[in-house]
Amino acid sequence: MPSRSETRSIDAFLTTTLAEYGRTLHDNIFDDVPLLSYLNGKLGKALAGRGPDSQIKKVLNGGERIIEPLLYGRNSTVDSYSGSEMLDTTLQDGITNAAYDWAQYSVAIGIEGIQKRNNKGRHALVNLLQAKTTQAEMTIQERLNSDAYKDGTGNNSKNILGLGGHISATTTTGGLAPATHTWWKSEISASVGAFATYGFTKMRNMTNTLTIGNISPDMVITTQDVYEAFENELTDQRRYTDSKVGDVGFENLVFKNQPIIFDRDCTSGFMYFLNRRYMKWVVHAEADLKMADPGFQTPIGQDVSTALILFQGNMTVNNRRRLGVLTGITT
């Protein structure tokens, strides 16, 4: 059995190797699935030119909760005037905050003593660590992407608050109830029915409803079935694609200048209309899928070395009215 000093040396080597792989691990998790890539990956970067913000992602260094300032009212002092007329200086309301809880996730990468002994040499250890890390990447990617479509109530409300909670006309989010704050509602078109009959009409109406001037949804995400139903209704001459989205590896079609993609985790029968101006993917600087200190450890009494990868963050929204969803689509 390796000595304690040898074990520490191996753990230090594994820690250094995993730390060097950290950026690649992060990119692999966020770049390959549509919604996560839109929020914090190459798809979001490809679409950055469509809005004023370069990225949806926001990094914080602390805070008990995530605070999003909301502008919901107009300034009533705006008016024309002439000469020495008294000007309206009434103090204005119309600004409040939404407060979101931090969500935390972890994934462990563990290497048993027998695996370390059977993979002597640094090259063999690197190969073993890579296999273990790939397994961890795939697992946490699946979990985060799946949770990003849900309402945040899973696992005793410890999950991230996903589209199922944010894009709603009834769900309380950020501490604000739509029943009280009538402006804190998304656009919902429920029970759409057969796509071939109602799909284009409902999509057109939703897009127009969510459009203000030249600001409109910048991404539509749906299921594979609904995507194929949309594709089936297009003539060959109308099968346009968005080159920016295609260049980062996502098959897509276009409707009213909006790229449309499908995601295996999207809720059945749903089609989400998103806008990066009004969404944020907020992460803590010290837990953005980073390895927890002190890295790999071999506790006394166990023949295993384990490191934890931690995530602390959430999806937030600052204007629910500019986000929408079609539900109950059948194909």
Query: Mean pLDDT across the stretch 277-293?
Result: 95
Segment 71-97, tens digit of pLDDT: 676 667 888 999 999 998 887 666 689
Contact (Cβ atoms closer than 8 angstroms) between residue 231 and residue 241: no
Tally of CB atoms within 10 A around 185: 17
Query: Mean pLDDT across the stretch 97-103?
Result: 96
| pLDDT the model gives residue 53 | 53
Lowest mean pLDDT among 74-78, 135-139, 228-232, 319-323: 74-78
Residue 223 pLDDT greater than 80, yes or no: yes
User: Strand 103-112 to strand 304-317: parallel, antiparallel, or no bridges (unpaired)?
Assistant: antiparallel
Residue 286 pLDDT greater than 60, yes or no: yes
All residues at 6 or more sequence positions from 19 whose CB lies less than 8 Å from its CB, including other chains: 291, 295
CA neighbor of 148 nearest in space, from 30, 64, 252, 286? 30
| pLDDT the model gives residue 94 | 65
Segment 297-319, tens digit of pLDDT: 988 889 999 999 999 999 999 99
How far, in Å, CA of 149 to CA of 160, rounded? 9
Q: How confident is the model at residue 116 (pLDDT cuts 50, 70, 90)?
A: confident
| pLDDT the model gives residue 235 | 73
The mean of the pLDDT values for the chain is 91
Query: Mean pLDDT across the stretch 202-224?
Result: 96
How far, in Å, CA of 325 to CA of 149, rounded? 12
Segment 156-205, tens digit of pLDDT: 999 999 999 999 999 999 999 999 998 899 999 999 999 999 999 999 99
Chain centre distance of CA 243? 22
DSSP, collapsed to helix, strand or coil, labels residue 61 as coil
Residue 237 pLDDT greater than 80, yes or no: no
Segment 33-72, tens digit of pLDDT: 999 999 999 999 888 765 555 568 999 999 999 999 986 7
| pLDDT the model gives residue 1 | 46
Q: What is the token pair recorded at 201?
A: 């009409």
Upper half-sphere CA count for residue 281 (Cβ side, 13 Å): 22
Residue 7 pLDDT greater than 80, yes or no: no
Query: Mean pLDDT across the stretch 6-20?
Result: 83
Residue 236 pLDDT greater than 80, yes or no: no
Question: b/e for 293-315, b at 16 or more Cβ within 10 A?
Answer: eebbbbeeeeeebbbbbbbbbbb
